[in-house]
Structure 1
């Protein structure tokens, strides 16, 4: 199981802090399981990792705790939102979230100074010298079945999914093997920018937004350079159906 992060409260927005940003490319090389992160935390300090799970509690408006009883034995890891945008949290306790960020040893004064935050000492005293993840990317991480059952609920929200590559149509353009879940069609994945190449049968993690395929909208919003035959095939099979526009594609740790 992969770990991710959420917070606790019925509906909450975590404002972003304004610290240094890094790309998710680093995380692609440090995509770790929860067991590895917990057992070898020291070795990951200074590295960017991607983890996935539910959140246990909110500390304040910029941070929350993530935990997994199976691996953490009640121990929680502090997560601080370091993205450029706030993150809306709903259905706390049930929603899965995926976080990419740098693992650090928490020191209140250092983190507050580096990321321009005001952190209350009494709220953070117990986390001093413990691991913290400074989140550079946060996305909802529902099961593909949940998305397939109600895709409109997830339209135009940043989400993270995992699945098996069914077919590579051309460079960066592929389908995920979810034919039983999306009304008889595999889930089409369209890159919003150049991505790593994938192979048929590979298990991948993807982040981006789900939106209905409308040819005119996609041609307007993205630099599509598909072959005519591919364009016609996609239009025939996916018009008005859910399509995943990916800004990040990398091998899954699961």
Structure 2
């Protein structure tokens, strides 16, 4: 089975790219983040004609997550237990959806950005991750993949210049500790061992030709439970999908991450 995750930065704007990507790589399950639409606004006819089922959640033009699968979608769960909301009063956001696809529990996750270290969104991010960790501990005994845009660069080599990020979110010790807590619980970063170099990034800002200069970040991950990780036979980042010169229309600022499973 081939599983991928991709922050598409608007599914409506990138649907042609998504359909072409699924066919080119013969992807069985694609977890999508930042769909930026309600469920009734999503362009699903082409995906369905290709044999894919879709489970999605979106409340407005922000956030939004989905799972696109041709190996079944069962036991769909929108959000995880005790998932916090944001604001006063707290409002639920479309940041997590889980489903059983081909015998694997897939969670499409869009972790809060955090904005700035002194911003309430940063505290929300850490709380969101802590609640996710608690929920994920109960899933670790079965084949489970926590996939998506984590908005964390756990290693200094996961950003193009760590000095430029010294006062920024994504690389702070509390964020990295929150990410590493999943590894402490037995989840495995199943992609990193297959990357050709430390600078195999997954995100490049549109600003100042960041992609062309490879001034990116690695913030999109597939964390697998032990039984999931033991089945991984390969993984790669599809940089071509971030290249403005490739594909159909404008690219997302993220590249898809693809993982292959054996028996």
TM-score range, shorter chain: 0.3 to 0.5
Higher strand fraction (1 or 2)? 1
TM-score, structure 1 length as denominator? 0.36
